[in-house]
Amino acid sequence: MPTTGGAGGVSDTAFAANARALPVKRLRHPLIGALALAVGIVVILPVISLVFVALSGTGEDWPHLIANVLPGAMRTTLALLAMVAALTSVAGVACAWAVVAYDFPCRRILSWALVLPLAVPPYLAAYAFGEFFHYQGPVQSLVRTIFGFQTIRDYWFPDIRSTWGTAFVLASVLYPYVYLTTRIVFLMQGRNIADVARTLGARPRRVFWRVLLPVARPAIVAGVALVLMETINDIGAAEYFGVRTLTVAVYTTWLNRGSLEGGAQIALLMLVLVVLLLVAEQWARRRQRFHAGRGTHLKVHPPRVALKGWTRFAMPVAVALPILSGFGVPITIFGQYASRRLEQFASPDVGRAFGNSLMTASLTATLTVAIALFLLNAQRLSKTRAMAATVRLASVGYALPGGILGLGLLFVLARFDNSVDAFARAYLGFSTGLLLTGSAAAVILACTIRFVALAEGAVRSGMEKLPASLDEAARSLGKTPAQSATSVLLPLLKPAIMTAAVLVFVDTVKELSATILLRPFGFSTLATHVYENASRGVPEEGAVAAIVIIITAMVPVVLLSGALVRDAEASL
Amino acid sequence: MKINNARSAIAGYAFAVAALFTTSALADGVVNIYTYRQPDLIKPVLDAFTADTGIKTEVLFLDKGLEERIQAEGQNSPADVIMTVDIARLTSAKEKGVTQPLVDEEINKLLPAEYRDPEGNWFGVTKRARVVYASKDRVKDTAITYADLADPKWKGKICIRSGQHDYNLALFSAAIAHWGPEKTEEWMKGLKANLAKKPDGGDRPQAGAIAAGECDIAIGNTYYVGLMRNNEKDPKEKEWGNAINVLFPTFENGLTHVNISGAALAKNAPNRDNAVKLIRFLASHEAQQVYAEKNYEYPVEPGLEPSETVKAFGTLKADTLPLVDIAKGRKAASEMVDRVGLDDGPSS
């Protein structure tokens, strides 16, 4: 049973125990340690700056917040988190298992199409769902036609503009995080221990529940953690549906009651909540290790069970449901609006926004993956608690609302620029002006800081599959840590690295709040272009850019899925 | 691979920094605008300005944190002019010290004193009224007061966007100034009890809710009706706009709540002369006409008529309550919305 000790099967446990006894020294390279610490600090600078903002407050907002705002906001947020976690883990895990373990019509297409909803920003999804389930939308119109209702008062229809509705919308576009992280585990490892369990007499269903699910748990948790952080920092969907979460409270306190300090205090409270969730989960699986015993296991491709009878056709339908919801609904609504504005596809504004999105997203993806690899490898080699804490801390910013994180970074950058400028004026006799504030570099930096967690999560779940014995073996054969990382770990991590890069790329294309706050003059991305229209009440005018966002985000998603499948199948 | 990463990162950084300097704010013949108003809404006016003066405009649209950004940028801020809606945003810019006083005879001659800061820290350039959208089919009333919105006869029939939105906070703050906090809170409880559903969406979807039969009256801004009725692209919007009549609700003084959109001269404006020219232009007859015709807003220029669509609503009698009083009550209004639980909707 994989719940205690090494999960790699009987022989592997023995192997792992031997590996631990090998006399490979921990890495104590001071330079790498210092560099990792420095990177970690840069990444949490915005959070530190927000702590200072929060501490400068008087706390005068709290009597009102405690009496009238926080109890409700806390309840709503927790309910939202619970519902989204439940929906995404069920949909993500079930779909991952279905496409890895079974063969059925359209399996290949569905296995990559399952990732598509990731391309849809939550605030656009909320708008699309609002229209789709609106009284005048297609669903209710159909209901009225079928049952012959005349007015809205003739029948009851669930209101999508509610906490559960928000949860449903967010889950529809966020479940791919869980699907992706879990599928990697099922592809990389799941099967061989499943085979062991089956030769020991366990039935397939039992194998799934008792062996594969526990083994996949770290990956599921990694995916759900990303989902929850996106849920807690969401402002677009919650605001549009009138659901008052903690993030909404942050913004009303800051903007409507003029207390940025109070807003920052609530935001930090949210961070504590997230950290507690993560710590609790870590504690719950403190004794577990899940990795394959040997490198060869990583390349074993699982044979799929061909479905027969009605399940052969029921399965593709079931697997298509989340795609229809998270991708079909938004593309239908925005496609309809865009079809009336086809000329905008050639508009120079949309073209420029596309170019900027592409540049920002590729640079951010490259940077975050490099940082995640560096930090995780440093942690893997040094094995100290301080290093593990640094790496963990580096990703908490993801839980903050983007606008608040952007504000924290804005203060840091402006302070830096103005200090450099003051120095130059005093000692060099010229002004350097603002170097980073209001530059495209600031936008990229903000996205990098915001999305390091994504890359870190994806790479970590890949790295946890790799036994320490792998690079210890490489190093005992005379490779340096760097050589071992590039020649042994990197090739094995390729699926995880590609997943990380795509996740960050897609999220950067969708990123709005920090970009809009930090960007230079005339710098529009696709997301800001859509938002400029949506925020004056005409999202229809942004439909073309919305479609371009979805397509832009789709391309790497599709490439990734193709590459993952090829990778897995090439090793057969 | 790592080397490639580093190389592209450096290249990207160099590119980004170069991009920064090419859009640098200090060139002649430029005015830099930080705006809370969406670029498409101010574009017609800015285009007319460039055509008249040859001065180019650089626009940076922010949805929040505009004041904080200028504050943080300090004396190096490239911002020349701040444009925003809502009186509270204008006074907040002044309070946060990101504006500077501008006393200009020409501007003061064009703009009525009630729509500008006495010290010249902000200038109102358009106004909009917060009115009642009433179903053409189901509402026969031709007059309504703000106080009536709490009358139980409307139980289950009113739609409104979030009470925490700028436009509603300004209306509630005006109510507090007219009626005092206790009476306003009672009124807000009555309004909440009359809601048909939980507040959400923007002003336009409230008209949509009336068209769908979810509610009979809604609270919204005037210009949205003009934009909906003249929307040639989306038939749905036209239908919404035509499903409603505009009623001008009044306080006891017989006047209707209005808010403004405005402009301010930024504290460290590097292109001060151009900035002053722009603000003068915004106050001019030409710009006022563009605002009226393209955006369906009310011009602040005395005697200038609004667009035909807007004239068809009837005659606006704008409240004379000083705008700064409305801005002052914003925090109290925001707390009241939370206390009453307006955004929870009618049920709780």
**Domain boundaries in chain B?**
26-126+259-305, 128-257+311-344
Q: What is the mean pLDDT of residues A274-281?
A: 80
Same-fold call for B26-126+259-305 versus B128-257+311-344? yes
- Does position A572 have pLDDT exceeding 70, yes or no? no
> A130 and B201 in contact by Cβ < 8 A?
yes
Q: How far is CA A440 from CA A445, A502, A543, B60, B222, in A?
A: 9, 21, 25, 13, 38
Which of A359-363, B47-51, B253-257, B343-347 has the least mean pLDDT?
A: B343-347
By Cβ distance, the residue of A337, A403, A441 closest to B17 is: A441
Q: What is the mean pLDDT of residues A259-270?
A: 93
CATH class of B26-126+259-305: alpha beta
Q: DSSP code of A60?
A: T
> A540 and B234 in contact by Cβ < 8 A?
yes
Q: DSSP code of B125?
A: E
Per-residue pLDDT, A302 = 57
Residues A496, A458: contact at Cβ < 8 Å? yes
Per-residue pLDDT, A300 = 52
The hierarchical CATH code for the domain B128-257+311-344 is 3.40.190.10
Task: Sketch out chain A's domains with CATH numbers.
Answer: 26-49+340-572 (1.10.3720.10), 57-286+314-338 (1.10.3720.10)
Which of A189-198, A439-448, B310-319 has the least mean pLDDT?
A: A189-198
Residues of A in contact with B40 (CB under 8 A): 532-533, 536, 541
pLDDT for B43-97, tens place per residue?
999 999 999 999 999 999 999 999 999 999 999 999 999 999 999 999 999 999 9
Residues B56, B7: contact at Cβ < 8 Å? no
pLDDT for B212-233, tens place per residue?
888 999 999 999 999 999 998 8
Per-residue pLDDT, B22 = 43
Residues of A in contact with B208 (CB under 8 A): 134, 136
Per-residue pLDDT, A135 = 80
What pTM did the predictor assign? 0.87
Residues B314, B246: contact at Cβ < 8 Å? yes
Pairwise pLDDT comparison (A195 vs A339), residue with the higher score: A339
ipTM above 0.90, yes or no: no
By Cβ distance, the residue of B13, B23, B197 closest to A521 is: B23
Give residue A353's region: left, alpha or beta (phi > 0; psi -120 to 50). Answer: alpha
**Percentage of the residues of chain A whose pLDDT score is greater than 90:** 40
Give residue A383's region: left, alpha or beta (phi > 0; psi -120 to 50). Answer: left
Give the minimum alpha-carbon distance from A235 to chain B in angstroms, rounded to a whole number. Answer: 13
Q: pLDDT class for A144, splitting at 50, 70, 90? A: confident
> A517 and B198 in contact by Cβ < 8 A?
no
Give the minimum alpha-carbon distance from B22 to chain A in angstroms, rounded to a whole number. Answer: 10
pLDDT for A156-189, tens place per residue?
888 888 999 999 999 999 999 999 888 877 876 6
Per-residue pLDDT, A218 = 82
> B72 and A366 in contact by Cβ < 8 A?
no
**For the CA atoms of chain B, what is the radius of gyration?**
22
Per-residue pLDDT, A27 = 55
**b/e sequence A131-150, b meaning 16+ C-beta within 10 Å:** bbbbbebeebeeebeeeeee
In degrees, to the nearest 5, what angle opens at C-alpha A436 toward C-alphas A434 and A437?
70
Residues A484, A474: contact at Cβ < 8 Å? yes
Q: Phi and psi (nearest 5°) for A180?
A: -65, -50
pLDDT for A291-341, tens place per residue?
554 444 444 555 677 888 888 889 999 999 999 999 999 999 999 999 988
